Amino acid sequence: MQHNEKKEQLTVNVQYIKDLSFENQNSPDSLSNKGEAPEINVDINVYARPLKKKIYEVSLSINSKAEKKNFKIFELELVYAGVFTLPDTSLNDEEEKRKILIEAPQLLFPFARSIVSNVTRDGGFMPLIIQPIDFELLYKSRKIEKPV
């Protein structure tokens, strides 16, 4: 039984920062803590592309903007990616999609979250802590938007 569970696992071959940008162009004015807290928007997307049979690059894209009354505080863009190998077992299309679009980003997320936190802190702000993401819910909402 344990041997079969091992075969079902997604293999992480490598993970890396593919793109990282942090803009604090209105500093030092943007670093002032006076007045109300900034409005912070975070947008997260998952992208996957096949590299070879059963091997995919999965990218977690995180974009965040902080503004106070149309005054840009900071802007952050991160694409954190990994190359994953699907198990050798015969998975149907739906199972493959779930492994690549739910399990793979779940494995990448803690690392991307840490990068976002460190970059915003190193930029002079309170660390931006992104709340955990329900990648299964994200996957299901995308399926409804764009049926395959």
Q: What is the pLDDT of residues 53-105, one digit of tens each?
A: 999 999 999 999 999 888 899 999 999 999 999 987 778 888 889 999 999 99
Q: What is the pLDDT of residue 148?
A: 42
Mean pLDDT of all residues in the chain?
88
Indicate whether 147 pLDDT > 60: no
Query: At a CB cut-off of 8 Å and minimum separation 6, what does 65 contact?
Result: 40, 41, 72, 74, 75, 76
Task: Verify cis geometry, omega within 30 degrees of 0, for the bond prior to 38.
Answer: no
| For the chain, percent of residues with pLDDT exceeding 70 | 91
pTM for the model:
0.85
Q: What is the pLDDT of residue 117?
A: 97
Ranges of H-type helices in 1-147: 2-7, 93-98, 104-122, 135-145
pLDDT band at 14 (very low <50, low <70, confident <90, very high): very high
So where are the chain's domains?
10-145
Q: Where are the beta strands (DSSP E) in the chain?
A: 11-23, 39-52, 55-68, 71-85
Considering only CA atoms, which of 122, 112, 144 is closest in space to residue 43? 112
Q: State the CATH class of domain 10-145.
A: alpha beta
Considering only CA atoms, which of 25, 31, 38 is closest in space to residue 69? 38
